[in-house]
Amino acid sequence: MQIKINGNHIITSKIEHHAILESCEVLAKKGFEITYLDVDEEGFVNLEQLENSINDKTILISIMFANNEIGTIEPIRQISEIARRHNIIFHTDAVQAIGNVPIDVKDMEIDMMSISGHKIYAPKGVGALYVKKGIKFEKFMSGGHQEKDKRGGTENLASIVGLGKAAELAKTNLNEHIKQLKELRDYFVKQIKEKIGTENIKINGSENFRLPGNSNISFKGIDGMALLLELDRKGICASSGSACTSGDPKPSHVLTAIKVPDEYIHGALRITMGEFNRKWEVDFLVENLKNILYNLEQIKWVDAHSFYLLIIYLLFPKSTFTFCLASSLSVLNKSEGAKLNIPAIIFDGNTCNLVLYIVTESL
């Protein structure tokens, strides 16, 4: 294949990891034109849009192998065929896919592929870039001739050896690993549907073409950050989007791209099963999740009524008694910049009881 080496147009998708998106933003500032492909409601790239976006300046197509948030596995072979027809280099971010999906770079005609060690239990901070023979690219880091003169600096041999061994084990155990994770993931989803119900939940991503250990579920009207905090209190690690941005309160760019409705987008929970997870841990997770969701629903009820009771207080400030709903609530009087200590109905998260405090003297 005679690949293009001149051009300034790159095609990627709207649901890529920030490692790709932010790199594209940097290149855009340097004069590159970036096309961000749409995805459907399951997270699949629009192949027709991909083909139509190619022009005579397109030099790279970069589409992730599998999405880190919703687990959707992209049609990599079809994407590579489109790239090959137009003599364009095809790169895939396979960080999530490595060790979880069978990958054959030659059969799939992948030109470049990025992987990260910690996803297959190698040391953190080490990764690899596969580059098909014949593809040339600029030196990434100067200061030495290591890494075939592409990345200067002394190699971290211990981590490199660790990555090599982890890759060897991942390949050997791949089929059993996929089977184990898929069984745990399917069991988790089944328990969610049976014990929590299906009325106010939405499973994000593809049902059939997704990473074996990935589950992304949105709960209608639930505050995702509150959900994560309560899970953390129980010793359960999860995220509301990418694990790299779990502290970001903004809606996930992935969930936004697949058009998750507003009432569900803030209540997303990403659970990833790993090699060392067991069935009893899934049971522990579901039981705690059920209780936490119930408690959060009760708090929603309290919050919904607090507004109306606050209005009553403002309309009748001299009333004999006033109710206000919150947890140790003090309401900010914005007009005077002061805090009014207001009696509260306090929600006890442990017993799920509402404790009512009634003021018997005038405020």
Count of domains observed in the chain: 3
What value does the mean pLDDT take over residues 256-275? Answer: 95
CB under 8 Å to 67, separation ≥6 — which residues?
15, 43, 74, 96, 205, 254
Q: Is residue 2 part of a domain?
A: no
**Residue whose C-alpha is closest to residue 69's, from 92, 41, 96:** 96
Structure tokens given for 294: 């119930």
Full residue range of the structural domain in which residue 347 is found: 307-356
Query: Same structural domain for residues 336 and 322?
Result: yes
According to the model, what pLDDT value does residue 136 have? 87
In degrees and rounded to multiples of 5, residue 137 shows phi and psi of -145, 160
Q: Average the pLDDT over each of 77-91, 96-110, 293-307, 338-352 and give the range with the smallest value.
A: 338-352
Instruction: Give the confidence band of 139 by pLDDT, cuts at 50, 70, 90.
Output: confident
Higher-confidence residue of 74 and 144: namely 74
Q: Supply the residues annotated as catalytic.
A: 244
Query: Same structural domain for residues 49 and 95?
Result: yes
Q: Is residue 53 part of a domain?
A: yes
Q: Is residue 300 part of a domain?
A: no
Contact 186, 212 (CB under 8 A): no
DSSP letter assigned to residue 133 = T
Q: Is residue 1 part of a domain?
A: no
Q: Is residue 134 part of a domain?
A: yes
Given 240, 262, 292, which residue is the final one in a domain?
292
What's the CATH code of the domain at 243? 3.90.1150.10
| pLDDT surpasses 50 at 359 | no
Q: Average the pLDDT over each of 51-65, 79-93, 94-108, 237-251 and give the range with the smallest value.
A: 237-251
Query: Same structural domain for residues 191 and 159?
Result: no
| 36-91 tens-digit pLDDT | 999 999 999 999 999 999 999 999 999 999 999 999 999 999 999 999 999 999 99
Query: Same structural domain for residues 164 and 59?
Result: yes
Query: Same structural domain for residues 154 and 216?
Result: no
Query: Same structural domain for residues 87 and 43?
Result: yes
Instruction: Give the confidence band of 141 by pLDDT, cuts at 50, 70, 90.
Output: confident
What value does the mean pLDDT take over residues 7-33? Answer: 96
Query: Same structural domain for residues 207 and 350?
Result: no
| 327-354 tens-digit pLDDT | 333 333 333 333 333 344 443 444 434 3
Total-model pTM: 0.81
Contact 44, 72 (CB under 8 A): yes
Query: Same structural domain for residues 202 and 283?
Result: yes
Say what angle helices 279-315 and 224-233 make with each other, to 10 degrees. Answer: 130
Query: Same structural domain for residues 86 and 156?
Result: yes
Higher-confidence residue of 190 and 343: namely 190
With residue 61 as reference, give the H or E element that holds it: strand 58-62
What's the CATH code of the domain at 66? 3.40.640.10
According to the model, what pLDDT value does residue 6 have? 81
Higher-confidence residue of 307 and 293: namely 293
Query: Same structural domain for residues 79 and 161?
Result: yes
Q: Which residue has the tokens 């992730």?
A: 64
Q: Where are the beta strands (DSSP E) in 210-324?
A: 214-219, 268-272
Q: Is residue 302 part of a domain?
A: no
Largest CA distance in the chain: 87
| Residue type at position 221 | G
Average pLDDT, the chain: 84
Query: Same structural domain for residues 210 and 267?
Result: yes
What value does the mean pLDDT take over residues 91-118? Answer: 97
**Residue whose C-alpha is closest to residue 271's, from 75, 71, 126:** 71
Given 172, 207, 238, which residue is the final one in a domain?
172
Instruction: Give the confidence band of 266 by pLDDT, cuts at 50, 70, 90.
Output: very high
Q: Is residue 200 part of a domain?
A: yes
What value does the mean pLDDT take over residues 314-319? Answer: 56
What value does the mean pLDDT take over residues 203-221? Answer: 96
Q: Is residue 37 part of a domain?
A: yes
Given 140, 172, 204, which residue is the final one in a domain?
172
Query: Same structural domain for residues 31 and 132?
Result: yes
